[in-house]
Amino acid sequence: MNKISITAYHLRERLDLKKLKNSLTFNCICEDPTELLYQIEESIYFQIFDYGSVVFFGTNQINQTDILSSVRSILQLDSIELMRENYDVEVLPDSQYKAMFDRIVIKDLNLDLIKILMLNIAQSVALEYYTVQSDLLLSQTVKYSGELEEYGKFSLRGKKLLKFIGRTLNLRNKIVNNLYIFDSHKSTWNNEFLNQVDIDLYRELDIGLRYRSLQENLNIVTENLGIFKDLNQYSQSLKLEWVIITLIAVEIINLLIEKIF
């Protein structure tokens, strides 16, 4: 049995592929506007996707660390802990093809199949990053809802509220900008087996289910933020009304004082 590991990382930023292409010294065997595929040596590859994922096929940990450091240095990215995902490929010439959530069993490998495998793991790790971000927003939203239930008010106001809305909108925009990551690769269009592998990986990695869950989280956060915004505006309006009432009362008192004295 020949077992090969695929490791994917998400760098949290949109990557400038043109800048990377001009700076990295590895052998680039395939490029298009959204991805670069490099070959380190025979059957050892890494692929960079512009939405932030870097995937390694059969690459040892030392090379992974060096390449990630180079990418960060070229693009001047922060050295922060990265989202990571692993997937195994078992090559068994006498076996039947089978795709599972943590590995795939196949008879042999070719470059098109390797690209499909790397693409799906790249999508999965990117989706995991966005899911974690949406979960953080949702947990904070639940916290403010709890404050509203317990105290009849919440601490999310003014500039803090606007920044929270901005974070939510920014995450939504990033997801919309990267919607194409869930499209099938063009190599699957005229190849029945590659198309089946792509479909099976999409199912086993729960890409569709996780994406729908992500959207539901963001919808809940957005709905709650709309309510928070309305309550905040109502509170501000109420304060303004009391200020106006107070000013009118002061003016009336002043007029009465003038008439009496």
Distance between CA atoms of residues 185 and 127, nearest Å: 17
Distance between CA atoms of residues 34 and 259, nearest Å: 79
- Inform me whether the pLDDT recorded for 241 exceeds 70: no
207-229 residue pLDDT tens? 988 988 988 988 999 898 888 88
Triad 47, 53, 58: Cα angle to 5°: 45
62, 89, 145, 222, 229 from 141: Cα distances, Å: 41, 40, 6, 9, 12
More confident residue, 117 or 187: 117
Distance between CA atoms of residues 201 and 222, nearest Å: 31
Task: Provide the percentage of residues in the chain whose pLDDT is more than 70.
Answer: 92
Query: pTM, whole model, 2 decimals?
Result: 0.83
138-175 residue pLDDT tens? 998 999 888 888 888 778 777 888 888 888 888 888 88
54, 190, 211, 253 from 60: Cα distances, Å: 14, 33, 30, 83
180-203 residue pLDDT tens? 666 666 777 788 999 999 999 999
Q: What's the sign of the alpha-carbon dihedral 166, 171, 175, 177?
A: positive
